Structure 1
Amino acid sequence: MNEDLQVNISRPPPENVTAAASPLPPVLDSEPELVVNPWDIVLCTSGTLISCENAIVVLIIFHNPSLRAPMFLLIGSLALADLLAGVGLIVNFIFAYLLQSEAAKLVTVGLIAASFCASVCSLLAITVDRYLSLYYALTYNSERTVTFTYVMLIFLWGASTCVGLLPIMGWNCLEDESTCSVIRPLTKNNAAALSVSFLLMFALMLQLYIQICKIVMRHAHQIALQHHFLATSHYVTTRKGVSTLAIILGTFAACWMPFTLYSLIADYTYPSIYTYATLLPATYNSIINPVIYAFRNQEIQKALWLICCGCVPSSVAQRVRSPSDV
């Protein structure tokens, strides 16, 4: 045994041993590095901004007992839906790169689908409320309006919850990849149904805003006659109201229409960059919503000023609502 050991030591080292003793470190097999999609980073950043912005609106409405009118309840519903959508985008990013499982994907996609559905439905409910507040101006503040508002909220959140539960309850394409839509694991039929529903709601909103525009023009004309305003003043007021409605509806269409139409014609075989490019503007709608519906409101502005600096500027406190503020 000793002779064998001496022989082994006296032999020249094999080539692999010499390589191991060289100053260069050996090349070891390692797992591939996790590559993060830049589009996912942009969506996560958008979700963070959405969450922070809408959380402010939710806290303002929740902590102010005076903000309990139907209009503020609907604005709060919109802010809550957008807040959940932002959280869903953040959670989706975390689960996609840290907890890669089909169950987590179903939950996050369901949350995002339900949140955006509630956001669009809340926008429709706000449009209905604005129409009723102008058409039934004398009886709008009755108990009947409050009851109707709660019914709308229950219905829209119930329907949105059902939409979010569909992927978890088996309405997904995990077992058959050929049925997948542009957003996995939603099926092509589910995406098409949601897109058609959106187009129908957009058509209803368009019709309601046309009626609102007519009422605003009529009210502005009546006010001008009662106060003996000049025709130019009536024209300016009416144009401001029409412009506001056009901005509201145009922003909504510009944000959601690309993704809606793309979901109707595309499927999982299309490049994912098209999905990101059309989905990202849809998330911008949740960023713009608080600016249009919450921060422009005089009462919410007062509450925000009180929270930030403990006072309300005279320009905000003495602002008079005009027919163009719709």
Structure 2
Amino acid sequence: MVPPPTQSPLEAPLQMLLQASATPGSSPDPGTSPSAATDTSSPPPPDGSPWPPNGSWPVGRGRGLGGGEGVSPWDIALCAAGTVMAFENALVLAVLCCTPSLRAPTFMLIGSLALADLLAGVGLVANFVARCVMDPVSDAVALCLAGLLLSAFSASACSLLAITVDRYLSLYSALTYQAERTLPFTCGLLAALWLTCLGIGALPAMGWHCLDAPATCSVLSPLTKDQAAGLSVSYLFLFSFILHLYLQICRVAFRHAQQIAVQRHIVNNAGSPMPSAFCLVSGTRKGVSTLSLVLATFAFCWVPLAVYAMVADPTYPQVYTYYLALPAACHSAINPVVYGFRNPEIRRSLNVAYTTYLRSLFSRPRAATSNV
């Protein structure tokens, strides 16, 4: 019987080096096979799809910049939109508060809209900061932020409705409504509006959420599917009512313009009434174009998200929700331009404040040099 060959002390290290050279990029580990040492690929998704379930790859294997949910470029875009919203609406509120002549009921409604959009911008920025700082975002903070955004956007939509009703009544019953639209009446209306919207925002903290049952969540988490559908129906009903009022405003405006043109034609038989009638028609057309701009922006920004929230499933890619939520957030950045900066009195107050600031800025060095 032939005895087995004996290994020298150098043969075992040589064999390990040969195995390492045969599998580049891997290091041998005692107790593991070469195939296990070289298999560094991550397991595929459970459904076999090469794409992640939420439509965007997580940062750092599921951990974002500061929390388990992570921060995507869409969150950065929403934060930037919130910053612009907060700045624009804060500027409108500052002008309304610092100008005593802008205390009429109409400007109070515009101030309510600016305050709601300002809170919406603050909520978007706070949501981004919470995602960056907290690891992960706690349920209490998530519910508070959801309540803030829900209250702000609800107050913004209700303020738009109040402005529309105010314009309709001031045109439809101009003689009686101007006497009834007092400052206390407007303050009471705004108080009821904000109490209702704050109550809506408090619903998530009172159990109106899906954190305890994630299977019932909607694309607008932490709201459930039924809750998101109810809010969507409310927004669509509100848009339909605003559309109906604006159509009535256009009808009444054209009728008044025709009546005034006919009266001027009867009074000025000897003259030429065409220029005055032309001015009335052109002014009416300008007002209709402004109303069309208001309706188009509201429909483009909010209607797609409302419809998507009713029919979408939480398994849909999250990027679809971001696509539709960003225009809805940007609507609060368009409101100060349409309702605030386009108003002649607000624009005049801004120009006065700007020129006063420039005069004070350039007068200080002259005063200092004259004293020297």
When the two structures are superposed, what TM-score results if normalisation uses the length of structure 1?
A: 0.82
- Aligned position for 2:235: 198
Distance 1:182 1:33 in 2: 20
Q: Secondary structure at the match of 1:68?
A: coil
Residue 181 and residue 72 in structure 1: after superposition, are their counterparts in 2 closer, same or farther (change >3 A)? same
**What letter corresponds to residue 183 of structure 1 in structure 2?**
L
**What letter corresponds to residue 245 of structure 1 in structure 2?**
L
- Aligned position for 1:291: 337
**What letter corresponds to residue 257 of structure 1 in structure 2?**
V
After superposition, residues 219-230 of structure 1 pair within 5 angstroms as: 219-227=256-264, 228-230=273-275
**What letter corresponds to residue 302 of structure 2 in structure 1?**
W
Residue by residue over 1:139-186, the C-alpha shift from the partner in whole angstroms, topping out at 9 and shown as x without a partner, is: 333254434422321222112111111111111101100111112111
Give the RMSD, CA atoms, in angstroms: 2.0
Residue 33 and residue 48 in structure 1: after superposition, are their counterparts in 2 closer, same or farther (change >3 A)? closer
After superposition, residues 1-326 of structure 1 pair within 5 angstroms as: 34=65, 36-99=71-134, 100-227=137-264, 228-230=273-275, 232-310=278-356
Deviates more, 1:249-258 or 1:38-47: 249-258
Displacement of 1:229 after TM fit? 2.6
Aligned residues: 282
- Does structure 2 retain, via aligned residues, the 8 Å contact 1:174–1:185? yes
Deviates more, 1:76-85 or 1:157-166: 157-166
Distance 1:33 1:118 in 2: 32
**What letter corresponds to residue 294 of structure 1 in structure 2?**
G
Long gaps (5+) in structure 2: 1-59, 265-272, 358-372
- Does structure 2 retain, via aligned residues, the 8 Å contact 1:96–1:105? no
Distance 1:206 1:120 in 2: 13
- Does structure 2 retain, via aligned residues, the 8 Å contact 1:118–1:160? yes
When the two structures are superposed, what TM-score results if normalisation uses the length of structure 2?
A: 0.72
Distance 1:298 1:110 in 2: 35
Displacement of 1:302 after TM fit? 1.4
Long gaps (5+) in structure 1: 1-29, 312-326
Q: Secondary structure at the match of 2:321?
A: helix
- Aligned position for 1:15: none
> After TM superposition, where is structure 1 displaced by more than 6 Å over at least 4 residues in a row?
30-33
**What letter corresponds to residue 77 of structure 2 in structure 1?**
V
- Does structure 2 retain, via aligned residues, the 8 Å contact 1:112–1:164? yes
